[in-house]
Amino acid sequence: MTGMEKVTDWNALWRELVEVRACDRHRRFEAGADGKVADPWADRARKFLQGVNERWKDADSSRRFILSQLDADSTVLDIGAGAGAWATLLAGKAKSVTALDPSAAMLAVLREDMEARGISNIDVVQGSWPETDVAPHDFSLCSHAMYGCADLAGFIRKMEARTRKLCFLVLRAPAIDGVQAEAALRVWGQPLDSPNFTIAYNVLMQMGVYANVLMEDTGFWKPRTSPSLEAARERLKRGLGLFGVDAHDGFLTELLQRRLSWRDGVYVWPREVRSALVYWSPAGQGG
């Protein structure tokens, strides 16, 4: 067979997309005198937790399955715990939970929530993964907190090294024909616009990890809204790293006019992202 292209290095693709997103975050948050970017959650950690609690009013298959694997002797590592929605949920079933997150603001909200609920079996640790070392746990979980790590393979190997039973990843799984996918296909030549489930699963496969997948039964997330086509286009451009580049503006505007709907005074994006739970045993490579 001739004309075969080189096999995709999925970890390298993940890294490239993380770097695009990192550039966007750096532009939106000013660096201080020490060159460090301020905690982006400083004034919105509580609102973030409220949003999660609102979404979690309805049960979902990811939470049901993970809780079903725990017992009263289980220890759990929650990587990127944020304001602690997962940590407090797991603490009700497990012996202990270690909640790791780099944001002081998020962890302050978690501590407040623990005190209000009378929860005492969560160990709160400020730090980033995989840089921060912790003791081995029975289970490890990272829910939507891996998108800022450029080396996903290294992230995963560290999880495996600190997990005795099962590793869990909860990732966004975008539709391959979504608005962002169509924009990425035109601009980048491939439809994967962000670090996501598709890339992560292929990273695992290239690592020799044959993980299980459970698509969340709640379906696609609530659609995004934008006040104007210009705002929607700027959102697309930020995600694609098109800072100061207007070569694609005509196409992106046409795309948004064609795919977005005008309802109740805002432009509504199609529902195009859902969550996927990926899990495997570090010893058995599958579960």
Over residues 257-270, the pLDDT tens digits come to 999 999 999 999 99
Residue 102 pLDDT greater than 90, yes or no = yes
134 and 252 inside one domain = no
With respect to residue 42, please indicate whether it lies within any of the assigned structural domains: yes
147 and 250 inside one domain = no
146 and 249 inside one domain = no
How would you class 148 by CB atoms within 10 Å of its CB: exposed for 0-12, middle for 13-18, buried for 19 or more? middle
Rounded CA gap, 14 and 149, in Å? 9
Q: Give the residues across from 279 on adjacent strands.
A: 168, 212
Q: Which domain holds residue 262?
A: 223-270
Residue whose C-alpha is closest to residue 75's, from 136, 132, 133: 136
Name the residue type at position 48.
F
Residue 174 pLDDT greater than 90, yes or no = yes
Residue whose C-alpha is closest to residue 53's, from 95, 97, 116, 98: 116
What was the pLDDT predicted at 58? Answer: 84
Confidence of residue 31 (pLDDT cuts 50, 70, 90): very low
Higher-confidence position of 77 and 25: 77
Mean pLDDT, range 207-220, rounded to an integer? 94
Share of the chain above pLDDT 70, in %: 92
Q: Which tens digits make up the pLDDT trace of 117-133?
A: 999 999 999 999 999 99
> For residue 247, how many other CB atoms are within 10 A of its CB?
8
Q: Give the residues across from 142 on adjacent strands.
A: 79, 169
What was the pLDDT predicted at 29? Answer: 43
Rounded CA gap, 191 and 146, in Å? 20
Q: What is the mean pLDDT of the chain?
A: 91
194 and 100 inside one domain = yes
44 and 148 inside one domain = yes
242 and 207 inside one domain = no
30 and 157 inside one domain = yes
3-state helix, strand, coil in the chain (%, to 5): 40, 20, 40
As for how many domains the chain has, the answer is 2
16 and 144 inside one domain = yes
Mean pLDDT, range 104-115, rounded to an integer? 96
Confidence of residue 45 (pLDDT cuts 50, 70, 90): confident
